């Protein structure tokens, strides 16, 4: 094969970089093995699925909470039924509710916005920067008399610039609730993600770094915040637990984690650092050579040592190029995608959050939007965060997996170089 032939993009009929299919297996679920099976079946054999039938370390849910407390250095942890439930309990823990505003980035999973609405508050959307996370410099001009909290989201395992966010929060007396659903085990400048704000929230759903099937964890250093979160997570808990609480009873729901989920979560937690180490070295092998390609600009990762490295992303010059670039990579045999494409609804991009954009509600009064406590003039539209859409539109994302081997990383590099020469 001549050099010219090898250089012809697979998209244009040339030979692809690889015909071997990349493994589908990904993150925590790929690691499920005998240990997980033994732990979960052990719970079944005990016939006690409800967590509060087990005391102390005999409860997997208790053990999972302890693991998260140790990891984050936050004394109090609460295992719940999911990441969204963790955010709801965290917001309730902070006392956020009707009439309050919470600042969230325009690039996050829709669940971040949903949790804010469910507690009766409204989300105020803010711009991201080239890290694809909340831009600390954009927060201040979105603060109003109703703002109560800022919710940084460590998207795609990349840490937010927390010092800037905390500075704005402290200056204005706002609470910080971190959505670390996609960044379990990550850190920023040596400090664990989830431990910067008053509250940190994790998800252990199937698509996150480790999984309990469904599940989430709230961490905090504040006993009262924890008590309030715990009360919200069980409709009658306030009558027997948390012991010695000074919080007056209020309504809760059922966000409890069960022991089968706890068991799966505890075993998976043991795999977390191994998964992260493999992902980080794989990503290093990919981004170092990509940094030399002039036609693309790598996503800015504030702390590569601490990030979770579940993906690698870069920007092209315009959205049309990004779409074409991703298509050309797929033709070369490389799993790749663009993030914001007007034709493809992706609930990680704010214009596709219809129930925010159109102020959807479950009740006939249209709450919480119509509450007299909220600003009636607050509007949402897809042009409100131009920089966010520009960045997301120009981004190409490569999903990484700890089961990839060096050859997969090398194919990715080869294909990106080839496409950069061919498309741009
Ligand atoms: C997955 C996710 C959630 C919600 O977690 P669930 O466990 O699915 O409820 C919240 N925020 C972000 C950023 C997520 O990725």
Instruction: Read off the pLDDT of residues 179-233 as tens digits, 9 standing for 90 and up.
Output: 999 999 999 999 999 999 999 999 999 999 999 999 999 999 999 999 999 999 9
Q: Which two tokens mark 54?
A: 């087990």
pLDDT greater than 70 at residue 4: no
Residue 256, strand partner residues? 80
pLDDT at 244: 80
Residue 193 CA from chain centroid, whole number: 11
pLDDT at 343: 77
Report the chain's terminal Cα–Cα distance, integer Å. Answer: 24
C-alpha torsion angle, residues 156, 414, 277, 129 (rounded to 10): -30
CA–CA gap between residue 237 and residue 257 (Å, rounded): 14
Tell me, using a 6 A CB cutoff, whether residue 411 lines ligand 1: no
Residue 126, strand partner residues? 105
pLDDT at 237: 83
Distance (Å) from CA 181 to ligand 1 centroid: 5
Distance (Å) from CA 97 to ligand 1 centroid: 20
Q: How many helices (H) and strands (E) does the chain have?
A: 14, 13
Q: Whose CA is nearest to atom 13 of ligand 1?
A: 109
Tell me, using a 6 A CB cutoff, whether residue 203 lines ligand 1: yes
pLDDT greater than 70 at residue 1: no
170-180 pLDDT, tens per residue? 999 999 999 99
pLDDT at 3: 62
Give 213's contacts (C-beta < 8 A, 6+ positions apart): 204, 205, 206, 260, 261, 264
pLDDT at 7: 85
Task: Write down the pTM of the prediction.
Answer: 0.97
What does the pLDDT average to over 67-96? 98
CA–CA gap between residue 345 and residue 45 (Å, rounded): 43
Radius of gyration of the chain from its Cα atoms, rounded to whole angstroms: 22
Question: To test ligand 1's pocket by mutation, which of 86, 205, 215, 216 has the most ligand atoms within 8 angstroms of CB?
Answer: 205
Do the bridges between strand 122-126 and strand 395-399 make them parallel or antiparallel, or are there none, so unpaired?
Answer: unpaired
33-50 pLDDT, tens per residue? 999 999 999 999 999 999
Distance (Å) from CA 152 to ligand 1 centroid: 13
371-407 pLDDT, tens per residue? 999 999 999 999 999 999 999 999 999 999 999 999 9
Do the bridges between strand 216-220 and strand 297-298 make them parallel or antiparallel, or are there none, so unpaired?
Answer: unpaired
* C-beta of residue 184 within 8 angstroms of C-beta of residue 209: yes
Q: Which two tokens mark 43?
A: 């719970």
pLDDT at 294: 93
Question: To test ligand 1's pocket by mutation, which of 81, 82, 84 has the most ligand atoms within 8 angstroms of CB?
Answer: 84
pLDDT greater than 80 at residue 108: yes
pLDDT at 182: 98
Q: Which residues of 220-246 are buried (b: 16+ CB within 10 A; e: fewer)?
A: bbbebbbbbbbbbbbeebbeeebeebe
Residue 382, burial from CB neighbour count under 10 angstroms (0-12, 13-18, 19+): middle
């Amino acid at each position: 094969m001549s050099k010219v032939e090898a250089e012809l993009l697979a998209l244009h009929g040339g030979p692809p970089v690889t015909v071997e299919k990349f493994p589908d297996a990904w993150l925590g679920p790929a690691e499920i093995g005998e240990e997980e099976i033994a732990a979960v079946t052990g719970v079944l054999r005990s016939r006690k699925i409800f967590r509060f039938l087990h005391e102390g370390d005999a409860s997997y849910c208790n053990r999972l909470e302890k693991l998260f407390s140790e990891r984050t250095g936050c004394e109090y942890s609460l295992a719940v039924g999911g990441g969204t439930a963790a955010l709801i309990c965290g917001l309730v823990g902070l006392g956020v509710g009707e009439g309050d505003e919470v600042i969230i980035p325009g690039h996050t999973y829709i669940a971040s916005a949903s949790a804010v609405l469910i507690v009766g508050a409204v989300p105020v959307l803010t711009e991201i920067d080239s890290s694809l996370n909340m831009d600390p410099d954009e927060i201040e001009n979105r603060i109003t008399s109703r703002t109560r909290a800022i919710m940084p989201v460590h998207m795609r395992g990349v840490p937010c610039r927390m010092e800037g966010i905390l500075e704005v929060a402290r200056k204005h007396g706002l609470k910080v609730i971190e959505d670390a659903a996609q960044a379990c085990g990550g850190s920023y400048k040596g400090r664990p993600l989830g431990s910067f704000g008053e509250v940190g929230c994790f998800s252990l759903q199937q698509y996150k770094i480790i999984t309990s099937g469904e599940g989430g964890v709230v961490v905090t250093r504040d006993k009262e915040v924890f008590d309030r979160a715990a009360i919200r997570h069980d409709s009658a808990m306030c009558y027997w637990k948390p012991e010695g609480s000074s919080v007056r009873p209020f309504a809760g729901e059922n966000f409890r984690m069960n022991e089968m989920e706890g068991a799966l979560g505890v075993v998976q937690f043991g795999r977390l650092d191994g998964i992260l180490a493999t992902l980080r070295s794989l990503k290093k092998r990919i981004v170092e050579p990509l940094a030399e390609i002039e036609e693309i600009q790598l996503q800015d990762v504030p702390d590569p040592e601490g990030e979770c490295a579940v993906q690698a992303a870069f920007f092209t010059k315009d959205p049309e190029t990004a779409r074409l670039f991703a298509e050309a990579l797929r033709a070369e045999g490389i799993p790749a995608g663009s993030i914001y494409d007007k034709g493809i609804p992706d609930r990680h991009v704010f214009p596709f959050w219809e129930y925010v954009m159109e102020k959807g509600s479950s009740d006939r009064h249209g709450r919480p939007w119509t509450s007299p406590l909220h600003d009636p003039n607050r509007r949402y539209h897809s042009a409100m965060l131009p920089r966010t859409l520009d960045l997301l539109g120009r981004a190409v994302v490569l999903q990484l997996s700890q089961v990839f081997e060096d050859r997969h990383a090398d194919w990715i590099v080869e294909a990106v170089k080839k496409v950069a020469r061919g498309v741009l």
